[in-house]
Amino acid sequence: MIKLGVLGSGTGSNFAAIAESIKSKKINSVEISIVISDVENAKILDRAAALDIPNKYIPADDFKTKLDGKQEQDYINALKSADVDYIILAGFMRMIKNGLLNAFPQKIVNIHPALLPAFPGLHSWKQALDYGAKFAGCTVHFVDAGMDSGPIIAQAAVPIEDNDTAETLHAKIQIQEHIIFPEVIQLLADGKVKIEGRKVKTENCESNI
């Protein structure tokens, strides 16, 4: 059984997909111990409350775009108290710094709405659309000190059609996010994720994390 701490700043559709996969036993040996948001009225907290999953607003606004300083320590304390094995970033819109990374080495996983290493940063689906790319997608990856730069665990591609808008494209990407994120979490629970430098193996291997 692995225990997850889910961090999110917004709607929480990825959190909901993971929770639903657990409830319907599509994935097993996984439980969500705590959901934490840096946004007081974030929908992700309401969704967690509706599912009776412990949830907490912990302010992080000492810094604008990162989680750092005393507030980073507040997050570490809450995640350690909840005894989590993995931290799942599900739309958490802050850079993760060394304090949290060192407290949970190789245990922090993020979903990003682009085929990394293309289009890191914000509004990545819009970046792909504006660039004229023919495919967009999503990436589940380990978090390191860079921006969306850690080793890639899984990706799914989505074709960009001529009539796509930012909204239609993000919606199509999110359908894929809700599939691959729970799949990766199952691989973690099964001990089937092995990190070798930049490469992550998930087939016929035993975990080294």
Name the residues that contact ligand GAR, by CB under 6 A: 8, 10-14, 90-91, 111-113, 138, 174, 177
18 CB burial (10 A radius; 0-12, 13-18, 19+):
buried
Supply the minimum distance, in Å, between the C-beta of residue 164 and ligand GAR.
15
Helix (H) or strand (E) holding 158: strand 152-159
Cβ(152)–Cβ(116) under 8 Å?
Answer: yes
Residue 80 beta carbon to ligand GAR: minimum distance, rounded to whole angstroms: 24
141 is catalytic: no
Go through the chain and tell me how many residues it has: 209
Q: Least separation, in Å, of the C-beta of 138 and ligand GAR? A: 6
Name the catalytic one among 112, 141, 170, 178.
Answer: 112
Nearer to ligand GAR, 56 or 194 (CB): 56
Residue nearest to ligand GAR (CB): 91
DSSP 161: P
Of the pair 72, 177, the CB lying nearest ligand GAR is at: 177
Spatial distance between the Cα atoms of 112 and 115, rounded to a whole number of angstroms: 8
For residue 38, the Cα-to-chain-centroid distance in whole angstroms is 15
Give whichever of 5 and 8 is closer to ligand GAR, judged by the CB atom: 8
Active site positions, annotated: 112
